[in-house]
Amino acid sequence: METQKTALYEYHKSLGAKFVPFAGYQMPVQYSSGIVEEHKFTRSKAGLFDVSHMGQLFIKNSANLSTELEKIIPIDLKNIKLNQSKYSFLTNESGGIHDDLIVTKVEKGFNVILNAACKENDFKIIKDALGNKFELTLYEDLSLVALQGPKSAEILESVIKGVSSLKFMNGNNFLYNENKIYITRSGYTGEDGFEISLSNKIVEIFVKTLVSKGAQPIGLGARDTLRLEAGLCLYGHDINETTTPIEANLKWAISKRRREEGGFLGYNKIKSDINGELSRLRVGIKPLGKIIAREGTKIFSYDGNEIGSITSGTFGPSVNGSIAMGYIKYDFIKPGTKIFLEVRGKKHEANVTELPFYKKNYVR
């Protein structure tokens, strides 16, 4: 398959971005200032991310849509409010995760944001589950940009009146130069921020306007360090087809009614996980030194038994140290538990810690 480019590719290029192939797209991993500076800029001001590679799916409302969708997504779609967003997943039969996603209830149906690498497969799964009764559109002509950081509301409000009154995980329609766009107050950095869905035709001028107001383009590299500091999962690494939402410590993303009633794929496994038959859990891990524990690093107990492995690890610029997440045997999940990480044949001391590493700044 040919590598795809987002509508902002030439703009990234003009800024001197370094590109990497990601989920079939050429994406900017960093710009000239580098990952650490970009990360800190997002935490202190406002970072602008091109996330147009992600899938933007619209499912048009028709009889029983909520009932049908609830069979594959474990949230309460019957009682979700208009313009409310929820984080959830597409589960599989064994309780694993096909993908994590954000569902937003809109006037004419549901908007679903999907991971780039999974979107084609997700579309098939949803289409198969819903049958031919519903109209599904995976938009190719829409871009998605995220504006994240403490200055986001002020900057976006200066371009689009009214956005700053949105509450976290809520959205609405807005007008930009007479174009209808959809904005949610959400993101994946642990900061206050917005995700803006708009036509490919106007995205470059929109982004340039935000930059002129003080936002700065940020690459995928800093997006990764930001989300890891915020304790958020990256699909294909921290969660996948073999991890259940309960093992992933994401029970909160399954609505209470759904946890009790079930009626979605993999419920038997998820129910038994909820009822305490858990063998492992995703936890935060902090090495004592500067050593970076990358994905796949083996975790050992203090007495030398292998008890798990790292799924994400990097340097956290805002916590100024090495951070990681991984799955660990249930007996060792208590924060403060001393463990060892094996990196290049040597064992390094680390502690199990609470997540997130960096406290979230959401506007409730």
Token code pair at residue 311: 């799924």
Of 30-38, 51-59, 87-95, 201-209, the segment contacting other proteins by CB under 8 A is 30-38
Of 126-134, 230-238, 291-299, 333-341, the segment contacting other proteins by CB under 8 A is 291-299
Minimum Å gap between C-beta 310 and other proteins is: 13
The one-letter amino acid at 297: T
Of 187-195, 268-276, 284-292, 355-363, the segment contacting other proteins by CB under 8 A is 284-292
Measured in degrees and rounded to the nearest 5, phi and psi for residue 333 equal -80, -10
CA distance 261 to 271: 10
In this chain, which of 78, 124, 161, 294 binds other proteins, going by CB under 8 A? 294
Minimum Å gap between C-beta 18 and other proteins is: 8
In this chain, which of 91, 189, 322, 337 binds other proteins, going by CB under 8 A? 322
Question: Distances from the Cα of 41 to the Cαs of 8, 204, 216, 233, in angstroms?
Answer: 21, 21, 8, 22
Minimum Å gap between C-beta 178 and other proteins is: 41
DSSP secondary structure string for all residues of 105-138 = EETTEEEEEE-TTTHHHHHHHHHHHHGGGS-EEE
Please say whether the beta carbons of 12 and 50 come within 8 A: yes
How buried is residue 82: exposed, middle or buried, by Cβ count under 10 Å (0-12/13-18/19+)?
A: exposed
Number of chain positions touching other proteins (CB under 8 A): 17
Closest C-alpha among 75, 71, 82 to residue 101: 75
The strand pairing partners of 313, in sequence order, are 324
Select 214 or 296, whichever has its Cβ closest to other proteins.
Answer: 296
In this chain, which of 23, 138, 169, 291 binds other proteins, going by CB under 8 A? 291
Token pair 């208590």 is found at 334
The strand pairing partners of 181, in sequence order, are 174
Per CB under 8 A, does 314 bind other proteins? yes
CA distance 198 to 194: 13
Residues in 217-276 that interact with other proteins by CB under 8 A: 221, 225
x/- letters, 188..227, toward other proteins (CB under 8 A) = ---------------------------------x---x--
The neighbour count for residue 313, using CB atoms within 10 Å, is 24
Select 223 or 282, whichever has its Cβ closest to other proteins.
Answer: 223
Select 315 or 330, whichever has its Cβ closest to other proteins.
Answer: 315
| Binding footprint of other proteins on the chain (CB under 8 A) | 18, 29-30, 34-36, 221, 225, 290-292, 294, 314-315, 317, 322, 344
